Chain A
Amino acid sequence: MSLSNRDPLVVGRVVGDVLECFTRSIDLKVTYGQREVTNGLDLRPSQVLNKPRVEIGGEDLRNFYTLVMVDPDVPSPSNPHLREYLHWLVTDIPATTGTNFGNEIVSYESPRPNSGIHRIVLVLFRQLGRQTVYEPGWRQQFNTREFASLYNLGLPVAAVFYNCQRESGCGGRRS
């Protein structure tokens, strides 16, 4: 059963700007400190300084997963000509475990948006086999779709996003 039109990933245009439409099949739980990330949650740079705890579902420990974290709204959502920026890439995560058990091939770089409200997207893919995914040369102008196609990752199995703006941002509200 594919994502509904009311799904936050569709309404927030994550499906479209970053991902193809997919069906959720694996649990994905992302936690910054005590805060669990739900779609569209507003987080400030100070709250996402350090890498989050990521726990994934699945059943078979012989299946390996890749986690991608990107910002599609660089340098600003009104003019995202540098889409996307790769913040984190962890591969070979066994099912039922978390990123601590995977291979961090691109280290976590905390989001520090300067202009506008950026979406930060975390996507989980299932690998065909172990050690079949390699890091890109650079973080800028990353393309999640192409990356998935290149390493035969197929469609995502899970995704979640949050919103991040600079510390002193007004939350998109002016009064």
Chain B
Amino acid sequence: MEEVWKEINLASLHQRRQLNIDHEPLNQELPPLSSSTQHGSFLPPPATVLSLNPHSIDTHFDESSRFGCSEKKRSQDSDESRGDRRHKRMTKNRESAVRSRARKQAYINELELEIVHLQKENARLKRQEEQLKMAEATQHQTKKILQRSWTCPF
């Protein structure tokens, strides 16, 4: 029990020294730490307990609460923003993946169309070549005999 009170005493002493609250001088309130028999009357009131000096408690409470709560709020914020950031990153990555797949598919589809087009053109050109070859062959046959092909202009 005494250890608990000692701890609370130490804690409040630490806080008061930090916050530099200038109400009652510290030495009046705080008992010597070594003494174990005086814990009843001379211990400073813990910060959470209402005391006769409302000012000190208010500022004390405010500072500590502000300090404590803002700390909690900051970590909450960063937790939330971390989650938000992760979520944003996920959606951005998802959209990028969709674009990448669309890009790939568009290119593939274009290549397939080109293949069909080129196959048709190839077939057409081959047929044309065949026809020209046949036409040339028949022309050659008729040209084996000497013929007058041009008449003198005058």
Contact = CB atoms under 8 A, between A and B. Distances in A.
A96 interface: no
B36 interface: no
Q: Which 9 A-B pairs have the closest CB atoms?
A: A40-B107, A12-B106, A39-B110, A11-B106, A8-B106, A8-B110, A40-B106, A8-B109, A11-B105
Interface stretch (B24-32, B43-51, B91-99): B91-99
Main secondary structure of the interface of A (DSSP, over half): loop
Interface string B68-83: 0000000000000000
A11 B102 CA distance: 6
A39 B92 CA distance: 25
Q: Give chain B's interface secondary structure class.
A: helix
Nearest to B107: A40
Given A8-B109, A40-B110, A78 B102 contact: no
Given A39-B106, A77-B99, 14 more contacts: A8-B106, A8-B109, A8-B113, A9-B106, A11-B105, A11-B106, A12-B103, A13-B102, A38-B110, A38-B111, A39-B110, A41-B107, A78-B95, A78-B96
Interface in A1-49: 6-9, 11-13, 38-41
Nearest to B98: A13
A146 to B, nearest CB: 24
Contacts, number: 38
24 contacts: A7-B109, A8-B106, A8-B107, A8-B109, A8-B110, A9-B106, A11-B105, A11-B106, A12-B102, A12-B103, A38-B110, A38-B111, A38-B114, A39-B106, A39-B110, A40-B103, A40-B107, A78-B92, A78-B95, A78-B96, A78-B99, A117-B99, A117-B103, A163-B103
Interface residues of A, number: 16
A172 interface: yes
Contacts of A163: 103
Interface of B: 92, 95-96, 99-100, 102-103, 105-107, 109-111, 113-114
A9 B109 CA distance: 10
A41 B103 CA distance: 10
Interface of A: 6-9, 11-13, 38-41, 77-78, 117, 163, 172
Nearest to A77: B99
B66 to A, nearest CB: 39
B91 to A, nearest CB: 10
A172 B105 CA distance: 14
Contacts of A12: 102-103, 106
A91 B105 CA distance: 32
Contacts of A13: 102
A172 B103 CA distance: 10
Contacts of B96: 78
Contact of B109 (A6, A78, A172): A6
Nearest to B96: A78
